[in-house]
């Protein structure tokens, strides 16, 4: 299991709640927890944090056994806005603390010009303060490339413990992953199945047949063997369980390389510095 730089242990796989209607979220989160997930990944932007909190309570699983993540959205960047957004997230979730809080997207120079670096640094300063007060057990970033991390590091007292990136076969983002792992930053993968649009790839299908697994399971195993924590999402209980069943087989070096070398497909494959967020 991954261990963060501040020695908190995380599970090897998490459960994502993106694009899930609030009215369905409570049942999905409850079912995921009962299926065995212990890391629930959410965000203010998803608009379903009340449902996430409800699902946690309905599961009957003790709060201390569950790791809950949220993210501060782009309109709430900056020191004061981030502090306020965090309190709303806690209120919506009905929780006293978070296990992980992330900056959802970096401010980039395309939209913010010369103020982008300061915007990210001030947002990070708020996360540090919340962490030091004990309201968050770990802090990190999402969609940050190495240069974004270097920039907040210029004023940071604490370096990010996590960077959540889009990663799936065909989109490893190797430079960012290598940077994070060499600096003790755990990499999490959003859209680890490429939003399911890549599971028809012949290479992936061939490898999955060789192991008696699904293409989705092979994708998740590929990420885990790269030292990455995937965060798949499904509202179907059987698929939730399938996504957890990835620890009874291992991909060979040749299979890993074949998946590493797939061309970009599925998912979003964003150029973060060109986004208008």
Sheet holding 229-230, edge to edge: 15-16, 39-41, 67-72, 100-103, 139-142, 162-166, 186-190, 229-230
Token pair 């509202």: residue: 235
Question: Which of 15, 18, 37, 46 is the catalytic position?
Answer: 46
DSSP-derived letter for residue 137 is: S
Nearest to 17, CA basis, from 89, 82, 120: 89
Alpha helices in the chain (DSSP H): 22-35, 49-59, 79-93, 109-112, 116-132, 146-153, 174-182, 202-211, 215-225, 237-244, 253-260
Strand-pair partners of 68 = 40
Rounded distance, CA 207 to CA 169, Å?
A: 12
Nearest to 187, CA basis, from 166, 220, 162: 162
Active site residue 97: no
Phi and psi angles of residue 208, each rounded to the nearest 5 degrees, phi first = -65, -40
Strand-pair partners of 40 = 15, 68
| 198 and 204 Cβ atoms separated by less than 8 Å | yes
The catalytic residue positions are 46
């Amino acid at each position: 299991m991954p261990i963060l730089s501040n020695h908190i242990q995380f599970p090897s796989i998490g459960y994502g709640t993106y694009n899930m209607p609030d009215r369905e979220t409570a049942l999905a989160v409850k079912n995921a927890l009962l299926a065995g997930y212990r890391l629930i990944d959410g965000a203010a932007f998803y608009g379903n944090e009340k449902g996430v909190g409800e699902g946690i309570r309905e599961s009957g699983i003790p709060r201390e056994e569950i790791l809950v993540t949220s993210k501060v959205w782009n309109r709430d960047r900056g020191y004061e806005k981030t502090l306020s957004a965090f309190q709303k997230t806690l209120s919506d979730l009905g929780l006293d603390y978070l296990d992980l809080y992330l900056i959802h997207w970096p401010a980039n120079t395309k939209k913010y010009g010369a103020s982008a670096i300061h915007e990210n640094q001030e947002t990070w300063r708020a996360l540090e303060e919340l962490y030091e007060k004990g309201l968050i057990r770990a802090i990190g970033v999402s969609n940050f490339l190495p240069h974004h991390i270097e920039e907040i590091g210029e004023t940071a007292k604490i370096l990010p413990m996590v960077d959540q990136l889009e990663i799936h076969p065909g989109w490893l983002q190797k430079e960012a992953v290598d940077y994070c792992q060499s600096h003790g930053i755990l990499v999490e993968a959003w859209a680890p199945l490429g939003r399911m649009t890549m599971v028809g790839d012949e290479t992936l299908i061939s490898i999955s047949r060789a192991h008696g697994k699904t293409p989705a399971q092979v994708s998740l195993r590929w990420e885990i063997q790269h030292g990455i924590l995937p965060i798949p999402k499904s509202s179907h209980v059987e698929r939730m369980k399938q996504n957890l069943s990835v620890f009874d087989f291992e991909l060979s070096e040749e299979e890993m390389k074949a998946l590493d070398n797939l061309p970009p497909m599925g998912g979003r494959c964003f150029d973060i510095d060109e986004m208008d967020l």
